[in-house]
């Protein structure tokens, strides 16, 4: 059997390294780009280049941004006294779609998972601790009064929430958890706006 042209093989292998993309899906994507208008492939290449060149992680909340600090962190109309702690940047977008939350965020970039070898030191928990201590020690900053733990309602998310609660309660910070309107074992980014709104308004103490 004649092997594929090397550029096609390279593209299939590149797509296969993406999460959720198996060999068959990778092949379909590669052949679609091969057969489609040249502009589609060029636009994709330009978007990928721009993604790496013009995006960064906010040094305060660690969300994806195109400026540092990000637009949310410098928005004076948002409350700096309340921080919503999420696992991933996509979770920020999910909560923002509700239009209910007017505080700030902190992105952990994952959840505690001993099975996968992910511990607290692998997440942005130390940065969150520094952020809160700085707000409490500075005369110019608004002290953080509440942490809303919005990790996913699964084993990893619950373990992360409990760890954060034990770590931050001694600092005098109120720690709350999203209400149980979220399905157990689900991912925050897939929840609809009404479910997330109810979870925010019905959050409980930890």
Cis bond leading into 69, ω under 30°?
yes
Handedness of CA 22, 188, 69, 137 (dihedral sign): negative
The answer to whether 92 and 63 are in contact (CB under 8 A) is: yes
Q: What is the pTM of this model?
A: 0.77
Give burial (CB, 10 Å; 0-12/13-18/19+) of 149.
buried
Is the predicted pLDDT of residue 32 greater than 80, yes or no? yes
117: pLDDT confidence band, cut at 50, 70 and 90?
Answer: very high
Which of 24, 27, 35 has the alpha carbon at shortest distance from 11? 27
What's the confidence (pLDDT) of residue 116?
A: 92
23 phi, psi to nearest 5 deg: -60, -40
Measured distance CA(70)–CA(27) in Å, rounded: 37
What's the confidence (pLDDT) of residue 183?
A: 63
**Residue 71 in tokens:** 């637009």
183: helix, strand or coil:
coil
Superfamily of domain 6-52, CATH level 4: RecR Domain 1 (1.10.8.420)
Measured distance CA(187)–CA(32) in Å, rounded: 30
What's the confidence (pLDDT) of residue 191?
A: 75
Measured CA distances, 53 to 5, 15, 19, 58, 61 (Å): 29, 20, 22, 15, 20
Task: Tell me the residue length of the chain.
Answer: 206
**Residue 11 in tokens:** 């593209």
Which of 140, 134, 131 has the alpha carbon at shortest distance from 60? 131
Q: Regarding predicted confidence, which is higher, 162 or 185?
A: 162
For residues 20-36, give the mean pLDDT: 94
Is the predicted pLDDT of residue 156 greater than 70, yes or no? yes
Domain ranges of the chain: 6-52, 78-205
What's the confidence (pLDDT) of residue 176?
A: 95
What's the confidence (pLDDT) of residue 153?
A: 85
CATH code, residues 78-205: 3.40.1360.10
Percent of the chain with pLDDT over 90: 77
End-to-end CA distance of the chain: 62
Which of 170, 89, 68 has the alpha carbon at shortest distance from 129? 170
Beta-bridged to residue 118, according to DSSP, are: 113
Measured distance CA(132)–CA(197) in Å, rounded: 25
């Amino acid at each position: 059997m004649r092997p594929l042209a090397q550029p096609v093989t390279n593209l299939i292998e590149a797509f296969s390294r993406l999460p959720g993309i198996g060999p068959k899906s990778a092949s379909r994507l590669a052949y679609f780009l091969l057969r489609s208008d040249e502009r589609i492939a060029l636009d994709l290449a330009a978007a990928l280049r721009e993604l790496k060149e013009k995006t960064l992680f906010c040094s305060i909340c660690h969300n994806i941004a195109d400026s540092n600090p990000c637009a949310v962190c410098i928005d004076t109309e948002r409350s700096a006294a309340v921080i919503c702690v999420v696992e991933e940047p996509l979770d920020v977008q999910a909560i923002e779609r509700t239009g209910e939350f007017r505080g700030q965020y902190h992105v952990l970039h994952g959840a505690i998972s001993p099975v996968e070898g992910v511990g607290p030191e692998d997440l942005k928990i130390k940065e969150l601790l520094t952020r809160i201590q700085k707000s409490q020690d500075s005369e110019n900053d608004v002290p953080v009064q509440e942490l809303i733990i919005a990790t996913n309602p699964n084993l990893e998310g619950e373990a992360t929430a409990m760890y954060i609660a034990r770590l931050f309660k001694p600092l005098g910070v109120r720690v709350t958890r999203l209400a149980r309107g979220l399905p157990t074992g689900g991912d925050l980014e897939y929840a609809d706006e009404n479910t997330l709104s109810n979870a925010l308004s019905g959050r409980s103490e930890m």
